[in-house]
Structure 1
Amino acid sequence: MTLPIGRPIHILSPGPISQLTGGFGYLRRLAAGLAERGEEVAVHELPGRHPFPDEEARLEADLTAARIPDGALVLVDGLALPAAAHALWMERYRLRLAALVHHPLHLEAGLDAETALVLRRLERDALALMRRVIVPSRATAADVMALEVPADRLAVVNPGTDRVAPAPHPKWAAAPGLGKAGPVILCVATLTPRKGHLVLLQALATLTDLPWTLVLAGSPDRDPAHAEAIRAAIAELGLADRVTIAGELEAVALEARWHLADLTVLPSLHEGYGMVVAEALARGLPTVATTAGALPELLPPAAGGLVPPGDAAALAAALRPLLADPTARAAAAREALEAGGALPTWDQSVDLFRAELARAATAQGAGA
């Protein structure tokens, strides 16, 4: 049995930890798992705007860090780094700092060159203060090493997956799909530029000779202007009768969508891990994704397909056989289920993460 870390763990979350994204899901499962293992865990939900902080976010980060007792272990979510940068610098001698970096913020799609450069410098300087930097994939580890984080302070801990039985209905049989108009495609992703929805719509606009429907499950509120661009593209491409924007779904509603889907797609321009792909594989769903970031680490091509990011023609070519041929879907589903069974469980991931936090608790101070 692993001994407790021996000091409180304070988690700095960029806003409510209940937010329905993969990154916040990782943070929630981590906090709960550490508490279940006897650790003393305090989650600090920093108000204000993130990751491009306003004055409220910066001030609350300063006040929160100042209240944390001397010698405590502080885990900072990467999305909170811009707001907390000043606080981390001021408290670097007093607190034991670690970071969970889902993906470097300066790699976010849609940033102008100046903003990306400012973010890169901020992330580099903040991560230099960390005793341990934990990332979800080898691809993100490489991105973080490019920010001058030494390899001996860096660790990869893949998020876990729940062992979910495939849907009980015979969805891999010869029927064309469960939707009223052919196979149901599910895309679970916030409506932001990095997720590549516009590329997906362009691809599907070339596949209207086939029956299919698309469900977009993700918040339209994180980038309202981009969400409106997606709605406009749906109308302009003549796809309004095929595409449903379901919005951000709670767990039960999302699980229902998983069970109704015939395949899933994640057309991201960058992914630090791709928890949606892991969830699809665990459910035995054929999955088409891009080669961006960590996605090739997760998805075997035979489980659906991997295509270059931003390439609508390649995405359409990968989707066509899965939409047209139930036998192809069934073969990809079997590969997906096998790949999903090899993914780590949440218990395994939390145990590994806990071990890395224990190293952070005893490591030499990085910023000292």
Structure 2
Amino acid sequence: MTAAGGTAAVVHVVLPNDIDDPATPSGGNSYDRRICAGLAASGWAVHEHAVRGTWPQPSMTERAELAGVLAALPDDALVLLDGLVASAVPEVLVPQSHRLRLVVLVHLPLGEEAVRSRAAEGETLAAAVAVITTSAWTRQRLIDLYALPADRVHVATPGSEQAPVAPGSATGSELLCVAAVAPHKGHDVLTSALSAVADLRWTCLCVGALDRDPDFVDRVRQQATTSGLQDRMHLVGPRTGVELDAAYAAADLLVLASRGETYGMVVTEALARGIPVLATATNGLPESLGHAPDGSLPGMLVPPDDPTALAGALRRWLDDAALRDQLRHSARGRRGTLTGWAVTSALVANVLACVPVTAGRSA
């Protein structure tokens, strides 16, 4: 990617400070890192600014540090900001929008989880020259929440890397949940559902951060112990790299009991290995699950916050070998339809390239 005169197009990317912290893996951080790498690979000059802060609830000092980063950028600079940072601080972003070309990448609408955050997020997004979302559901939700012009809100769904097909076991008993243990991920619902199928053979490996809500983690552990699941449901903390790959390779079924999910990158990570998915039919999860080329679902969808429905789907999976074969066939078909991160990066690059050079300059 080059600008007029043959020089590389420049983008400044503002990221949370934990972008590369292996102790706090997240879909948002992974997405951001992939996009920065993809833009650089396609010829962009990418300048990263990882800003310290307890985002999206920064201190006054942390807000001031972000303001300092933006103030140091030249007029008309193109700036791509992670929404976790940008959407919480309109008092910092809006004044800079008159001289900088601000593009906000929204992984999770803050106003979706906390109504009190809507005014701030709406003000920030209204000041941006473009907004990029990670799913069609998120795009429409932002348009509905903030009456944003539809032509300024774009979609760049996460990519996935092809991986060896997980062989699966004869019994389908190896369940995997990849999600931070926090209320919105529904581990309490999952535990209730697992207790309802305790008469069947299964183990469930729960991979994900344990420090987001320690009180909730304690409640889930106590719930599992009370239900007699402490030796079958394992909360093992975050895993990355080869350890995460090994968890997927050993899995028969990915289970995600989320109460809300803008997309669900772990769904496509499982499908990239031909692993069927049992998830909730909420927000962007049906979009990430998608369909196999023959139109079949590569898994099952149940209502959110419904342990009875989740338990019923688990029982069908564990009891019915023909169903397992059918869903595995569909998941392997869906695997072939997934796009890579180069496609995602190209979508983001196209949005950035279409921002006029003078868009952020005050009149």
TM score, norm. by length of structure 2: 0.92
Q: Secondary structure at the match of 2:40?
A: helix
What aligned pairs does 1:1-368 form with structure 2 within 5 A after superposition? 3=2, 7-18=9-20, 19-108=24-113, 116-146=114-144, 147-167=146-166, 170-171=167-168, 175-177=170-172, 183-299=173-289, 300=291, 302-362=297-357, 364-365=359-360
Quick check: 1:58–1:83 contact (8 Å CA) kept in 2? no
Given that 1:190 and 1:218 are in contact with CA atoms closer than 8 Å, whether structure 2 keeps it comes out as yes
Judged with a 3 Å threshold, the aligned counterparts in structure 2 of structure 1 residues 331 and 354 are, in CA distance, closer, same or farther, namely: same
Query: Gaps spanning 5+ residues in structure 1: where?
Result: 109-115, 178-182
Structure-1 separation of matches of 2:315 and 2:255: 12
Question: Aligned with 2:53: secondary structure?
Answer: coil
Query: What is the aligned length?
Result: 351
Deviations 1:335-362 (A, max 9, x none): 1121122122111111111001112354
Show CA shifts across 1:192-245 (max 9, x none): 111111111111110011010111100011222222222222122221011111
Greater Cα shift, 355-364 or 342-351: 355-364
- Tell me if the contact between 2:76 and 2:357 (Cα under 8 Å) persists in the aligned partners: no
Q: Match for 1:8: what amino acid? A: V
Matched to 2:333, the amino acid is E
Tell me if the contact between 1:15 and 1:50 (Cα under 8 Å) persists in the aligned partners: no
Provide the rounded CA distance (Å) in 1 between the counterparts of 2:297 and 2:361: 43
Separation in 2, partners of 1:271, 1:366 = 36
Contact 2:161 2:340 (8 Å CA) reproduced: yes
Separation in 2, partners of 1:311, 1:334: 27
CA contact (8 A) 1:70 1:95 kept: yes
CA contact (8 A) 1:4 1:39 kept: no
Per-residue deviation, 1:93: 1.3
Q: Secondary structure at the match of 1:44?
A: strand
Q: Is the 8 A contact 1:158 1:344 kept in 2?
A: no
Q: Distance in 2 between matches of 1:306 and 1:69?
A: 48
1:15 CA displacement: 2.1
Range that drifts further, 357-366 or 37-46:
357-366
Looking at structure 1, the residues matched to 90 and 50 of structure 2 have their Cα atoms a distance apart, in angstroms, of 16
Task: Give the conservation status (yes or no) of the 8 Å contact 2:101–2:359.
Answer: no
Q: Using the alignment, how far apart are the partners of 1:274 and 1:362 within structure 2?
A: 34
Structure 2 distance, partners of 1:210, 1:238, is 13
CA distance in 2, matches of 1:199, 1:81: 32
The answer as to whether partners of 1:73 and 1:361 remain within 8 angstroms in 2 is no
How far the C-alpha of 1:366 sits from its partner, in A, is: 10
Q: Deviations over 1:233-283 (max 9, x none)?
A: 212222101111110112111001000111101111111111000111111
1:83 CA drift (Å): 4.8
Residue identity over aligned pairs, in percent, reads 40
Unaligned ranges ≥5, structure 2: none
Cα distance in 1 between the residues matched to 2:196 and 2:207: 22
Contact 2:99/2:360 (8 A) holds in 1 = no
Which residue of structure 2 lines up, in the alignment, with residue 111 of structure 1?
none
What is the CA–CA distance in structure 2 between the aligned matches of 1:185 and 1:56, rounded to whole Å?
44
Q: CA RMSD in A?
A: 1.9
Please report the TM-score for the alignment, with normalisation by the length of structure 1: 0.90
Q: Measure how far apart 1:57 and its partner are.
A: 2.4
Quick one: structure 1 residues 290 and 302, their matched pair in 2 at CA, closer, same or farther if it must change by over 3 Å?
Answer: same
Q: Deviations over 1:267-301 (max 9, x none)?
A: 11111111000111111001101111111112247
The AA in structure 2 aligned to 1:35 is A
Q: Which moved more, 1:213-222 or 1:47-56?
A: 47-56
Residue 149 of structure 1: how far off its partner (Å) = 1.4
> Following the alignment from structure 2 to structure 1, what is the Cα–Cα distance between the partners of residues 280 and 268?
14
Equivalent pair of 2:9/2:43 in contact (CA under 8 Å): no
Distance 1:337 1:3, change over 3 A: farther
Give 1:62 shift: 1.1
User: Kindly tell me: are residues 286 and 367 of structure 1, through their superposed partners in 2, closer, same or farther at Cα, counting changes over 3 Å?
Assistant: farther
